[in-house]
C-alpha cells in the first residue's frame, strides 16, 4: 500500500460542488501549490471533522493528501491568525472576516463553561425567569393597601390604582438556547 503524498498549499478559491462519487454537496477548495498562484491550482475536497462545517479563508494554508493521483483532500487548515492562549483541554471556536479579524467567539473551558464573545454576564433560563416575573406582577397587582381608618369607622382596603404593565418578553434572545 502506497503512503499518501502530502503537500502544503494556499487556498485561492472556494466552491460548493457535488461529490465525485455521490450526490453529496462538498466544499471544494482551489489550492495553489506554488509561489505563482496561477501556475499550479488544483481542486481539492475539504474534509472537515464530523459535526463541523468550516470554510477556510482565501490565502489560508492547507495540508493536502493525495489519495490517488487524481483525488486529493485537504485535511487541515491554518488561517494565519495568531492563536489565543487557552488551557490544555479547552477549545476556542471563532469566525473571521476577510481581513483576518476574529468576530464571533465561543470558548469551551475545562470547567464545562461556554463563554461567547468574551462575555462576562450570565445566561438565564428565560421561561423560568418569565414565570417568576409574571408571578411578581400578579402579586403586585393583587396586593392590598390598608387605608387609614377614621376614628371609630371601619377600615377600607384598596388595590393599586395603577396596575403594573411590566413585560419582559422583549428580553428574550431566541438565537441562544440553554438547558
What is the chain's pLDDT, residue by residue, as a tens digit (179 residues)?
Answer: 566 688 999 999 999 998 777 788 999 999 998 765 557 899 999 988 777 788 888 888 999 998 888 888 888 888 878 888 888 888 888 888 878 788 888 888 888 888 888 887 777 788 888 888 999 888 888 877 766 676 656 676 777 678 888 888 888 777 676 76
Give residue 10's pLDDT.
Answer: 93
Is 145 within 8 Å of 159 (Cβ atoms)? yes
Other C-beta atoms lying within 10 Å of the C-beta of residue 30: 17
The helix (H) or strand (E) run that includes residue 31 is strand 25-32
Please give the C-alpha separations between residue 98 and each of 59, 63, 85, in angstroms, as whole numbers: 10, 21, 22
CATH class of 5-78: mainly beta
How would you label 156-173 residue by residue, b for 16+ Cβ within 10 Å and e otherwise?
A: eeeeeeeeeeeeeeeeee
- The pTM of the full predicted model, rounded to 2 decimals, is 0.60
Domain residue extents for the chain: 5-78, 81-121, 126-171
Give residue 12's pLDDT.
Answer: 94
Residue (of 74, 4, 68, 3) closest to 33 by Cα position? 74
How far is it, in rounded angstroms, from Cα 72 to Cα 59?
19
How far is it, in rounded angstroms, from Cα 38 to Cα 103?
31
Amino acid at each position: 500500500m502506497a503512503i499518501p503524498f502530502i503537500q502544503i498549499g494556499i487556498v485561492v478559491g472556494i466552491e460548493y460542488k457535488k461529490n465525485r462519487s455521490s450526490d453529496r454537496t462538498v466544499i471544494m477548495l482551489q489550492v495553489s501549490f506554488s509561489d505563482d498562484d496561477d501556475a499550479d491550482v488544483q481542486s481539492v475536497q475539504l474534509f472537515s471533522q464530523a459535526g463541523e462545517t468550516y470554510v477556510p479563508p482565501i490565502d489560508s494554508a492547507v495540508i493536502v493528501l493525495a489519495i490517488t493521483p487524481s483525488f486529493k483532500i485537504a485535511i487541515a487548515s491554518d488561517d494565519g491568525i495568531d492563536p489565543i492562549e487557552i488551557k490544555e483541554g479547552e477549545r476556542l471556536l471563532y469566525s473571521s472576516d476577510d481581513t483576518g479579524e476574529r468576530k464571533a467567539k465561543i470558548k469551551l473551558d475545562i470547567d464545562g463553561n461556554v463563554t461567547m464573545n468574551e462575555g462576562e454576564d450570565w445566561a438565564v433560563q428565560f421561561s423560568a425567569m418569565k414565570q417568576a416575573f409574571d408571578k411578581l406582577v400578579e402579586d403586585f397587582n393583587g396586593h392590598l393597601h390598608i387605608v387609614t381608618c377614621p376614628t371609630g369607622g371601619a377600615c377600607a382596603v384598596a388595590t393599586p390604582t395603577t396596575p403594573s404593565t411590566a413585560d419582559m418578553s422583549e428580553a428574550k434572545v431566541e438565537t441562544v438556547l440553554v438547558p
